[in-house]
Structure 1
């Protein structure tokens, strides 16, 4: 029987049948402390796809980090074929500073494919592309909403890549939709390298959401099963019918500054003309009501109680 491929990261090889914790050296703190990216490799003996499962590209998005941690703890990356490369925290600098970005303020997810002698974010991207991305076949990128913005569990795929559409359906998150490629993003770099990639968005930064975490674990196991890398899924964390695919999305913004009171549950179904929230001044003299422009679903809610005019309050889709 044909044997699986060797995986080489940081000059160290992981042969078929082996599993190792490797590290990619990135930089040092001003104190001289070395910072490296931990990379877990699980390489089965039988041939199959190499799947990258990564989290912490933005250092404050901890739900994805917890998804990978739990799956490592429960030994769910040991497959019958192929290989899993699991990266719990890509942006170590952001994680230790409770920040989305690296210390110089740059976003690693706008720095791909990176430059060897560039900024810190650019160097992280460069080493990641050089060491990992050229070896993989499929990627799952785990994210959350930004500060105070809670994303209902959703998968984003690349419309121009049929394989990413198939992966999105296999993941079977509550919500699925296509999203435009963003210059400098990991997904854009992967698309240019012909590596089908999906992005899982769930929860908000610096706050655990157990439902989002369980949805993520279930979706990853669904993908591994779809690719023939595991024979069955036990236990099942989430069971449902097919995902809801959205074809139109819209952000609803604060019409004025004031206290924001949502009137619907995130992930809930809404009707055209329905009042889904309001913004009022602190004296209850002036109130602006926010109504849905169409029938659809709420896929993100702002949890900030005090808002300014123009702040994003709801992301809705149909």
Structure 2
């Protein structure tokens, strides 16, 4: 494995609190007050080994409606996977508590938290939260796993997103073992981009859809986190890891297939499937039985996102299909 920093600091001073080696504690990350003057605190679970080692941060819930990411980190904590063999593991299961309470993607100020990093101390509510996360938490961190899900009814295949030409990220993405590794550029003002600028390696996991918990996606995320921790020598010896059933498919390029018509939509293909050009992927109909449009694959590739909304409009993204594969194995028509 690649080298990681071996920390020798006895006490971790974070959010003004001291966390000794060998201790597990929950701190309150006070982000703001509601208009009712009630405080909103983000729980941060910190678990430290007596042995020095890297500090890993696991986050979810940057978007309040992405429940499956929260469930992954919740299970990591509940099962004790976050108790490290060496080093420190920091878990923040729900960063956007505001959105989580109201089942809303955004903050109460209408902003997307994942578009305001690194934040401003005296900025908007979302910007202030981003600023505190960047200044209070990230300086202590060596590596990050950030868990997301698809939005707007679009179901994402389990995938890890990294930028291209980053050998360390590629190594850890392969270790994580999700079905897909997707090369994607860091978005401006995103959490991932802020971490990149600070020189902190980050794996972004995507899987499932908003307002939903999928057992397969959850298991993929939890098992992937265990593999990475094991690779870093941090996984507690009571936990075992297994190799992924299939090799990762590395996606260099992809495209969205968009609806040519508005109507009632039904997919006839399953997520993760390999299709040939011209294969029928689904159909768009009207409520009156007079119209039926078959959606066909514009090229051969893997389907790794499907819009599960029953009603769609012209121009809506309905399928995400691969265009270029890196080190592709011979594709098979069966789902992975």
Q: Partners in 2 of 1:316 and 1:27 — Cα distance?
A: 41
Deviates more, 1:279-288 or 1:306-315: 279-288
Deviations 1:284-316 (A, max 9, x none): 323322111222111111111111100110111
Matched, 1:297 2:297: no
Q: Partners in 1 of 2:281 and 2:200 — Cα distance?
A: 39
Q: 2:149 corresponds to which residue?
A: 144
Give the secondary-structure state (helix, strand or coil) at the position aligned to 1:46.
coil
Over 3 Å counting, the alpha-carbon distance change for 1:170 and 1:5 in structure 2 is: farther
Q: 2:111 corresponds to which residue?
A: 106
Q: 2:332 corresponds to which residue?
A: none
- Count of matched residue positions in the alignment of Structure 1 and Structure 2: 318
Q: 1:119 corresponds to which residue?
A: 124
Q: Partners in 1 of 2:218 and 2:270 — Cα distance?
A: 18
Q: CA RMSD in A?
A: 1.7
Q: 1:201 corresponds to which residue?
A: 206
Of 143, 150, 159, the match for 1:154: 159
Deviation at 1:236, TM superposition (A): 4.8
Equivalence map 1:227-242=2 (5 Å):
227-230=232-235, 232=237, 234-236=239-241, 239-242=244-247
Contact kept? 1:21, 1:39, Cα under 8 Å:
yes
Matched, 1:255 2:260: yes
Q: Partners in 2 of 1:248 and 1:36 — Cα distance?
A: 40
Deviation at 1:272, TM superposition (A): 1.4
Equivalence map 1:83-94=2 (5 Å):
83-94=88-99
Deviations 1:67-93 (A, max 9, x none): 111121111111111110100100010
Contact kept? 1:111, 1:125, Cα under 8 Å:
yes
Q: 1:216 corresponds to which residue?
A: 221
Q: Partners in 2 of 1:137 and 1:239 — Cα distance?
A: 25
Contact kept? 1:59, 1:98, Cα under 8 Å:
yes
Over 3 Å counting, the alpha-carbon distance change for 1:24 and 1:62 in structure 2 is: same
Q: Partners in 1 of 2:46 and 2:98 — Cα distance?
A: 22
Deviation at 1:5, TM superposition (A): 5.3
Q: Partners in 1 of 2:203 and 2:35 — Cα distance?
A: 35
Q: 1:77 corresponds to which residue?
A: 82
Q: 1:33 corresponds to which residue?
A: 38
Deviations 1:234-275 (A, max 9, x none): 355884132111122110011011111211011112111111
Matched, 1:270 2:275: yes
TM-score (norm 1): 0.96
Gaps of 5+ in 2: 1-5, 324-336
Matched, 1:55 2:60: yes
Q: Partners in 2 of 1:233 and 1:58 — Cα distance?
A: 33
Give the secondary-structure state (helix, strand or coil) at the position aligned to 2:52.
strand
Q: 1:244 corresponds to which residue?
A: 249
Q: 1:23 corresponds to which residue?
A: 28
Of 122, 125, 133, the match for 1:128: 133
Q: Partners in 2 of 1:120 and 1:32 — Cα distance?
A: 14
Give the secondary-structure state (helix, strand or coil) at the position aligned to 1:36.
strand
Matched, 1:174 2:182: no
Matched, 1:189 2:194: yes
Deviation at 1:147, TM superposition (A): 2.2
Deviates more, 1:208-217 or 1:67-76: 67-76
Of 307, 315, 318, the match for 2:320: 315
